[in-house]
Structure 1
């Protein structure tokens, strides 16, 4: 009897193997770990044609209904993290595919810490300073930095992550204001910040940090009007999702040197090698590292191993679509 094939996807940092003990899976199945991003749905289908169990890394590969139709052997999608916006769960259920998830107890801290690290990196020109030092230089080409104490941080989206960043900012003596579509004065006050209107936030903040979930309601929520309202030299920090910001006017403002940015997420990921963002000195870039921290991946992959073994035992756990088990 042939052994099932388990495929781990999108291990772009080559850390999956060391993040968990895979021996319980390898005792029962063949394990394949893939690191490269896929160029197309056709490439995904070809690479995963024989897979019965797939472990995606959150939202790096999109699983549409059409892709699932091209994976007839697939029985389990063991997703990492508690939720994902790039998996058609209804289509999985209709095709009898079990979907499981994992916890993400450290994701909020990891992403919020990176957001504030980007604020400081942009303020002090750390990207250019680091590059100069590695190239044998010293102060040449490194701009004078700013001090964040006393500056205004505008938070767009005052959920759990936004509230964490607000606490960090207040510890650095920043003034903090916030706005989102449903934010009330009372909720903002309970988080120790002041709610302002969107127009005021963009026009008066020295740093703006985005912490919204991407949806049709929030796509492009930072548009040309908001970008043009930003103060000269103000910094837009995005560790949420790239499409929250309208890309064309954003690039125009950055290329003109009117504003700064510190970005961890992009419209297209991985960011193309020739993308204009890569050549701008007023932009700090990181390759979507928000949740990419050792304790997060230990939880993701450790619980994924448990999910796969439980499924192979016929007793799946952490099932997102339990109705599929009744079929």
Structure 2
């Protein structure tokens, strides 16, 4: 079979889809990976998996009709040339423009993976609400002829069905992108001051401002506790500026660690993994932290709540609630004897539900491969 996988951000394709690409190649399929222009290193990694790479123009953030039409035409041209038997697209623009392109040229086996709703589904001012309406209409049109629509949590699945954006009979659920439990082995806690770590693109809806606010509260009583943020800056309208991060650092509340293509050493060096996000598909970094054996502090929000059994492997707090987040941070600081129990529970949950082998087997079955 010829399979095309369409993403947007090239630097995450190996981490998020590498095992799936390898699975398809090992099964004898011809795999083409499409993202925005990638570095030589990323292309080499894709090639090493046995796949081929084809770039296309895509602006991950914002609504630019000219740029988006260019994206549509380039995907349409590529699919017409490649004539794939199956297409798998994930994240908003690859799904929308890939789905429309597949529909225009009559490709039947288009599969969409909804990895989260993102900024466009958040209510706000006039501009954001207008984008929200447009995105929903585009989703509905692009998914109309899809073979399958794969969700990473039941909340997103239910929303798409209720809004009539997706046919319920075509909807499936998998447990996130999965995590390689062999590559992310459970590790002991480091011998150092209590460290809370947050890994995310620097966006407001990741709860980074709440993390900084809670850190300020906690440090009044526990000044030596560390609060680390790891992740790249972003061009989204919801972005957090470098000046804002610099201010947190100057106040002594946050240590900004920059960005990396290998999160493992940072997770190993922390005690509590924290993600106060407003919404997720199913947060990959949380799964990686769970696999390494870390208690989780996250929000009772779509996607996030799927990773925690309250009091077992961590705690859930309300979104946008700095005080509640700070109180749970203090609980972790004052109850280190509970960490090992929670760490073991996190690892057990990953092995049971979030193993990448199981997730990719489910995706392959849904696609009919």
TM-score (norm 1): 0.37
Instruction: Report which of the two has the higher share of helix.
Output: 2
Point out the structure with max Rg over C-alpha: 1
TM-score (norm 2): 0.34
